[in-house]
Structure 1
Amino acid sequence: MTKNKRQAFNITSKTTIDYKQVDILLSFLTEYGKIKSRRSTNLTLKQQRQLSKSVKRARFLRLLPFVISAEN
């Protein structure tokens, strides 16, 4: 019995991930602000590299927070 992989995020191979698309970038972050793994997002290696570069660039420009604090 094989497990069917489902596309967690609907991004085609021609779509580029840009640092200005903050709403898309937030969907690839965990609740603590860490970048989700390739296994959980089902991205290609090229897309995962674009994603991490875009998230780091957006963090540097203060479009995204470095750490999202969990308030009690």
Structure 2
Amino acid sequence: MLSPFTYICFLLLKYSEVIDYKNVYLLRKFITIQGKIIPRNINKLSSKQHRFIMKAVKKSRIIGILPFVNKELL
């Protein structure tokens, strides 16, 4: 039985997918409307998973899959 103070990661509960730079639908859940990456304390991610998310978002932005800025706000 888990203690009430056990940290359960949000990503493992909700998304059992692999963090990949080509998975745009998963990465958009961790980006705000302005295009900023949501902080890890709000997402309830571990530091390792947040690092993977950040690297995947940056890589997909450089390749051109994700936009740097949302065009609807401009």
TM interval, shorter chain, is: 0.7 to 0.9
Question: 1:39 matched to which residue of 2?
Answer: 41
Matched residues, number? 64
Question: 2:11 matched to which residue of 1?
Answer: 11
Structure 1 residue ranges, 4+ long, deviating more than 2 angstroms after superposition: 13-16
| CA distance in 2: counterparts of 1:48 and 1:37, whole angstroms | 8
Percent identity of equivalent pairs:
38
Deviation, structure 1 residue 10: 4.4
What residue ranges of structure 2 are gaps of 5+ in the alignment? Answer: 1-7
Q: What is the root-mean-square deviation in Å for CA atoms of aligned residues?
A: 2.3
What residue ranges of structure 1 are gaps of 5+ in the alignment? Answer: 1-6
CA-to-partner distance for each residue in 1:9-67, whole Å, 9 max, x for gaps?
A: 84219853110110010010000000000011000000000000000000011000011
Q: TM-score, normalised by structure 1?
A: 0.77
The structure that is helix-richer by fraction is: 2
